[in-house]
Amino acid sequence: MLNLERLRTLDALARFGSVSGAADDLHVTTSAVSQQLAKLEREVGQQLLAKNGRGVRLTDAGKLLADHAAKILSQVELAQSDIEAQRGEVVGEVRLAAFPTAARGLFPATLASLHADHPELRVRTAELEPEAGIRAVLRGDFDLAVVLDWSNKRLPVPGGLTMAELLDDAPDIAMPAGHPLAGRAEVDLEDFADDDWISWPEGEFCHDWLMFTLRSKGIEPRIAHLAGEHHTQLALIAAGVGVCVAPRLGRGVVPDGVRLVPVRQKMRRHVHAVWRTDADRRPSIRAAVKALRAAGRDLDAPVNGDGGD
């Protein structure tokens, strides 16, 4: 009998091409990946991996079994989807991931709605950046992820996933209240060519977007500070040390000393839900998307002043 978790490990190795890539994807150690694959080789009685320089490659038997593993994992998802669809009830468990501001801005109302409408549905949530959320859905760790992209920089979505739009988020530029442009009704990004910027951590999708967007306007960004939390970014701005892009979703209370001004060239963050296409019939997925959309419609984020905590 083939072990499902070992097949999942082989599938990750086939998709990422290395033991370390599979380990990162599965959130385990490289040693754990190697042990699982060694056990799988003993189970099938064939060599699945061969050394390739400092790494490994799949043997012909490994490639054959990896192809079957992908189909088996998809079939397991389809079976769960069909069982839930046949019952026609929103029950069981659904696992949701979202990037931090979406978790703060959408999850409270979404969870309250699901609890009220579907009391037998268990909901688990976690914060994950968009790329990590997509990987988690692909490998089956989560059923649905809330992700984002920008009007001028799309997020690559692999095959096998379905994506549905939830809402558009219009960010502003946050600056110290004493900034020369703080009294403007609107601003352009080019107005801040000589300012220090506060950005998301390097490697995150939004950091890459900011660098790409400013450079496309002929601005070489002066990134002075990196902070993953928007509240940290706004606190730094209140201290007068830079400017940042401040999305409205999940914003909360704006600190004293910070001014938020809309951008004239209507920037938009597009917020989506993604899930495995082979889970499309699950009533719990459909209920979660419906609740997330309703939570998005109810948002009314202010530009300045109290947004509520």
Please measure the distance between the N-terminal and C-terminal CA atoms of the chain and give it in whole angstroms: 52
pLDDT score recorded for residue 249: 92
pLDDT of 248-306, one tens digit each?
998 888 999 999 999 987 788 999 999 998 888 888 999 999 999 999 998 854 455 44
pLDDT score recorded for residue 296: 92
Q: Which residues of the chain have pLDDT under 70?
A: 81-82, 84-88, 300-309
Model pTM score: 0.72
pLDDT score recorded for residue 1: 74
pLDDT score recorded for residue 110: 97
Half-sphere exposure at residue 118, Cβ-oriented, CA atoms within 13 angstroms: 22
DSSP state of 145: E
Tell me the two tokens of residue 305. Answer: 């002043």
pLDDT score recorded for residue 187: 95
pLDDT score recorded for residue 304: 57
On the 0-12 / 13-18 / 19+ scale of CB atoms within 10 A, 227 is middle
pLDDT score recorded for residue 170: 86
pLDDT score recorded for residue 309: 33
Cα 119 to Cα 163: distance, rounded to the nearest angstrom: 26
